[in-house]
Amino acid sequence: MTNSSLAHAVEKFSAIAHTFSDLDLERDWAWGAYDEGVRFAFFRVYEDLRELAARLAAGRSANGPATTTAQYILAQHQTAFRDLQAVLLGITGEDALREPGDEEWPLITTLLHIVQAEKTFHAINHYAIERARVKDQRPLEMTQETWQDYWSSDAFEEVKESQSLGRLMVYYGELHWRVVHDFSGVQGDELSTPAVFWEGEPMPVEFRLHRFDSHLRQHTVQVEKTLDLLELQPNEAKRLLRLIYTALAEVEGTAIGAVEFGLEQRTALAERITNRTDEVEAAVKG
């Protein structure tokens, strides 16, 4: 699964809508009997996504393919991933470099830490699972040579040196979908596979997969604190878009491990959201 037409439709809506002022949200826009202004268009996008997520989850539960524990874990991480994207709506490269004071990290430093950590999580889990599947004589812990080989052709250091928010988020998106792809096939008995990191003792893959989500949540809170210090608090439109991104992630979670499941319905909803984007843009421009 990759960034889908549905995600692109939500991103297009957000690119236009995140700048809407409170006055813009009051402008005329109606849906059926609901004549509540542009603000209600946000809720229609949200409701459509939630409705589709509920239908697809029920359909997959009834007809399969069954969702594995690993896929549920990745769906939880998907929600955290989309939430961070929503928090960062409208944040510029210059904003990311600003010093917030109070010995807090600039946004770019926090985001680089998130991405480097998730790249490391990927390496450790991938090595542990592959080692268990192949059953060869590799040591339980990655050797320094294996670790260096993993990073040798990777672009992270170039992205880090660039201090570019745009380049970093592109890199992170590619890494994220690689994580989803590589671990969506992990089976129940593989979740107990030991994997070694800094703790000095093996921890099961199940724990380490959950760390993608919890570590990202930890530093999303840090990002929000930094935005407060920079006086970049979200407006109402961004708060509403955060709900929409969570609903998008819920839909995407139903397709993890079954990329074609619900594709027709997701594509149809993408078209409706695209049309709604045009409507609200016209309503705000007058």
Q: Please check whether residue 195 is in contact with residue 124, taking contact to mean a CB–CB distance below 8 angstroms.
A: yes
SS (H, E, C) 17-71: HCCCCHHHHCCCCCECCECCCHHHHHHHHHHHHHHHHHHHHHHHHHHCCCCCHHH
Report the chain's terminal Cα–Cα distance, integer Å: 38
What are the pLDDT digits (tens) for 137-165? 899 999 999 999 999 889 999 999 999 99
What is this structure's pTM?
A: 0.96
Task: Indicate the helix (H) or strand (E) that contains 194.
Answer: strand 194-195
pLDDT of residue 109: 98
**Residue 180 in tokens:** 């989803």
CATH fold of 5-285 reads Four Helix Bundle (Hemerythrin (Met), subunit A) (1.20.120)
Across 73-96, b (16+ Cβ under 10 Å) vs e yields bbbbbbbbbbbbbbbbbebeeebb
**Taking the domains of the chain in order of start, what are their residue ranges?**
5-285
Region 108-116 average pLDDT? 98
Question: pLDDT, tens digit, for every residue of 58-81?
Answer: 999 999 899 999 999 999 999 999
Selected residue with higher pLDDT from 17 and 3? 17
> For residues 267 and 173, what is the distance between their CA atoms, to the nearest angstrom?
21
